[in-house]
Amino acid sequence: RDPPGRPGGLISTPMDPLEHVVREEWGRLTALLLARFRRLDLVEDGLGDAVAAAAESWSRDGAPDRPAGWVHAVARRRILDRLRAEAMHTRRMPLLVVEERRRESTSAAPADAVVDDEEAVEDDVLRLILMCNHPALSPEAASALSLRLVLGVSTHDIARLFLVQEATMAARLTRAKRKIVAAGIPFAVPSAAFLPERLESVARTAYLAFTAGYAPSSGPDPVRTELAGEAIRLVRLARGLVDDPILTPLLALMLLQHSRRDARVAPDGRIVLLPDQDRSRWRHDEIEEAVGLLASPSLSGPLRQATASYALQARIAAEHATAASAAETRWERIVQGYDLLLRLDPSPAAALARAVAVGEADGPEAGLEALDAVDHPNSHRVWAVRAELLNRSGCPAEAREAYTRAISLCRNDAEIAHLRARRDRLG
């Protein structure tokens, strides 16, 4: 289940303290409690109960000085109550049944295993990511579970990232959590011998989280820079554990996209498109770091598919980041980059981005032709691109219809406002 406070949950005020806890602290609270109790089922139930209690208590009495600490303390008490109840039940069971249950489930850690310092909590967040990306889970389930448990991405937004229905994703998440509990997957950093095999899944998870931060499918925010920043932090932390080429281009790609965060949204909350952004507000130190990463010797030889895919995407992003102005962007090189990427790692998102680039390089009619190859009819972004290209082609009526379709499919408030403004300019 999604914790209360997600779209459709208990909270509607954007700056509500409980919403902040659910959106920004959920992964840390999960990691902190899991470090002590080692029972994912108990941790999830305890946190869910604590958030529900907070919604009732805080609306009546006001939020406490340390909201996250309040939620942690209540969740911890609920988990301890559940453990005491289980212990009482166990005493009444035959000895053989007790032994069998112990073999099938993980046990709680001793009471003195609480993690309090900030550095340890950061390590625990990485442990939680690595636990979710255990080889016993499929890569898709592992990434989805990490996004839900660790980074607080809603089930709806995860479903949109994986191009499936929300109910389908909810069922996958439930199965993955049950498998972790049943298999007793440890909450720990694996040994050096086994760590590299999880990195590709961890990298994919981090990039999906980053994408969710800069393209949230629902909610009031045009971007969630905190979520994107947390994804970057986790990649840096993972690079400190093991030297693997896959993390180098991924970090470069994230830095190039993240460097534009101050220019993406206007003071009044409006989305600012790339051609209209004030490039003096870009973080040029991050761009320089990313360009340096792309010159790393580890990227000069034969690369695994995932590593090469991140490297291609990063080099495309570098074309945007290093152009002195929108007019000086080398769109032909960007189209060539997407052609290579689609041969190596095809996806609807890459095909959509290529159509945009073709429209810039060769004109809107060519862009529309390229867009016809994008097989993702329920994406509001596909319809938004179609509307823009139709308008540039001199077809305002058809563009207006496409904008209307995009608005009907979109669930992000800031994007809806942007699309309506674009449509209204057509008259």
pLDDT of the residue at 427 = 67
The mean per-residue pLDDT over the stretch 10-21 comes to 61
Element (H, E) at 317: helix 305-322
Comparison of pLDDT for 182 and 168, the residue scoring more: 168
Residue 114 has pLDDT above 50, yes or no: no
- What tens digit of pLDDT does each residue of 146-164 get? 888 877 777 888 887 787 8
Angle between the 196-214 and 247-258 helix axes, to the nearest 10 degrees?
10
pLDDT of the residue at 352 = 96
- What tens digit of pLDDT does each residue of 31-55 get? 888 888 878 888 888 998 999 999 9
The mean per-residue pLDDT over the stretch 114-128 comes to 53
The mean per-residue pLDDT over the stretch 119-147 comes to 76
pLDDT class of 378 with cuts at 50, 70, 90: confident
pLDDT of the residue at 300 = 86
Q: To the nearest whole percent, how much of the chain has pLDDT over 70?
A: 85
The mean per-residue pLDDT over the stretch 363-373 comes to 96
Residues 259/287, Cβ–Cβ less than 8 Å = yes
Task: Fill in the DSSP letter of residue 4.
Answer: B
Long-range contacts, 302-305 (Cβ 8 Å, 24+): 303/245, 304/200, 304/245, 304/246, 305/344, 305/345
- What tens digit of pLDDT does each residue of 236-259 get? 988 877 778 999 999 999 999 999
State how far the Cα of 26 lies from the Cα of 155, in Å rounded to an integer.
Answer: 14
Comparison of pLDDT for 130 and 332, the residue scoring more: 332
**Cβ within 8 Å of residue 239, ≥6 positions away:** 247, 248, 251
pLDDT of the residue at 92 = 60
Element (H, E) at 411: strand 411-412
**Cβ within 8 Å of residue 273, ≥6 positions away:** none
Residue in 195, 106, 180 with CA at minimum distance from that of residue 148: 180
Comparison of pLDDT for 165 and 283, the residue scoring more: 283
State how far the Cα of 65 lies from the Cα of 79, in Å rounded to an integer.
Answer: 23
- What tens digit of pLDDT does each residue of 216-230 get? 666 677 778 888 888
State how far the Cα of 160 lies from the Cα of 379, in Å rounded to an integer.
Answer: 9
The mean per-residue pLDDT over the stretch 123-146 comes to 81
When the pLDDT of each residue in the chain is averaged and rounded to a whole number, the result is: 83
Residues 400/383, Cβ–Cβ less than 8 Å = no
- What tens digit of pLDDT does each residue of 311-361 get? 999 999 999 999 999 999 999 999 999 999 999 999 999 999 999 999 999
The three-state secondary structure class of 224 is coil
Residues 333/319, Cβ–Cβ less than 8 Å = yes
Residue 3 has pLDDT above 60, yes or no: no
Residue 243 buriedness (CB in 10 A; 0-12 / 13-18 / 19+): exposed
Cite the DSSP H helix spans in 133-283.
139-149, 155-162, 166-183, 196-214, 225-241, 247-258
pLDDT of the residue at 96 = 46
pLDDT class of 124 with cuts at 50, 70, 90: confident
Residue 15 has pLDDT above 70, yes or no: no
Q: To the nearest whole percent, how much of the chain has pLDDT over 90?
A: 43
Find which of 20-34, 200-214, 351-365 is predicted with most confidence, using mean pLDDT.
Answer: 351-365
Comparison of pLDDT for 29 and 243, the residue scoring more: 29
pLDDT of the residue at 215 = 73
Residue 111 has pLDDT above 90, yes or no: no
Residue 149 pairs in a beta bridge with: none
Say which range, 87-91, 117-121, 169-173, has the weakest mean pLDDT: 117-121
State how far the Cα of 138 lies from the Cα of 127, in Å rounded to an integer.
Answer: 18
State how far the Cα of 193 lies from the Cα of 230, in Å rounded to an integer.
Answer: 26
The mean per-residue pLDDT over the stretch 296-305 comes to 89
One-letter amino acid identity for 406? Answer: A
Residue 179 has pLDDT above 80, yes or no: yes
The mean per-residue pLDDT over the stretch 354-378 comes to 94
